[in-house]
Amino acid sequence: MDSTVTGGLIGVGGAVVGALSAEGLTVLRERRAMRRQLKRAVSAIENELLETASILNKALERGAWWPEGDEPKNEEWRRYRDVLAEEVDEATVVRGSILYSTVRSLAATRSNPLTPVSRGPLRRMLRDDPQGRSFFSLIWTDDRWPSAREEVEQTLADVWAFLLECMRPLHLRVFGNGVASLDGETRALGEKPATSPGTSQARGSPATSPTPPAPRL
């Protein structure tokens, strides 16, 4: 074969190999970037839900709503929901959305007691708090929030169920066996959630008795 032809073929072959290599590197970089994004999504949503569990658990311990500005957040879920949807089935995303809606409904309940703060047994305590922002104005009383404890207990159970049944398997899939990153957060929550975190409890069912320590994710 003529050396010119041979050289041409080698040049064409080199160009093809170079193009394929470049494309392969681009795909690899994109996959790595997506993987990093997924890891950020999983960690952010887990931490947000762990913080929500902590807030609800403290509310149950105090028998009162959280202070102004300390309410459960949903920014990470809104930011990373679509990233999560690329990795899990639609039912999981729907379940997460319903859970966050339930948490938001607690905030609405907190803001709308059945009776004004100027009535009832707390009236004298609240003389210097006409806006109803003190701790006393957030205490769960039967005349203001008769079902607050049951609603918070149920929501806390739902949060733990989602963490254990949906997020934990995803965490293991994304991070492998590297679950230690969550241990510190889990221990920081306190040891006693109000309802058993291992199983979901149907809404409207009786509240469960004191429960075992919070599970480690």
Predicted confidence at residue 143, as pLDDT, reads 87
Sign of CA dihedral 167, 168, 174, 175: positive
Q: Is 199 part of any domain? A: no
Residues facing residue 64 across a β-bridge: 139
As for how many domains the chain has, the answer is 1
Q: Is 7 part of any domain? A: yes
Give the mean pLDDT of 125-143: 69
Cβ-contact 216, 186 below 8 angstroms: yes
Compute the CA torsion angle 92, 93, 99, 101 (nearest 10 deg).
-160
93-115 burial: b if 16+ Cβ within 10 Å, else e: bebbeebbeebeebeebbeebee
Q: Is 39 part of any domain? A: yes
Q: Is the pLDDT of residue 112 over 50?
A: yes
Q: Is 18 part of any domain? A: yes
Which tens digit of pLDDT belongs to each residue from 28-61?
666 677 889 999 999 999 999 999 999 999 999 9
Closest CA to 52 of 106, 132, 110: 106
Q: Is 96 part of any domain? A: yes
Q: Is 200 part of any domain? A: no
Of 75-79, 97-101, 114-118, 142-146, where does mean pLDDT reach its minimum? 114-118
Say how far apart CA 57 and CA 66 lie, in whole Å. 10
Predicted confidence at residue 33, as pLDDT, reads 74
Q: Is 207 part of any domain? A: no
Q: Is 210 part of any domain? A: no
The residue segments making up the domain with residue 176 are 3-188
Which tens digit of pLDDT belongs to each residue from 141-174?
888 899 999 999 999 999 999 999 999 999 999 9
Say how far apart CA 8 and CA 25 lie, in whole Å. 26
Element (H or E) spanning 163, and its range?
none
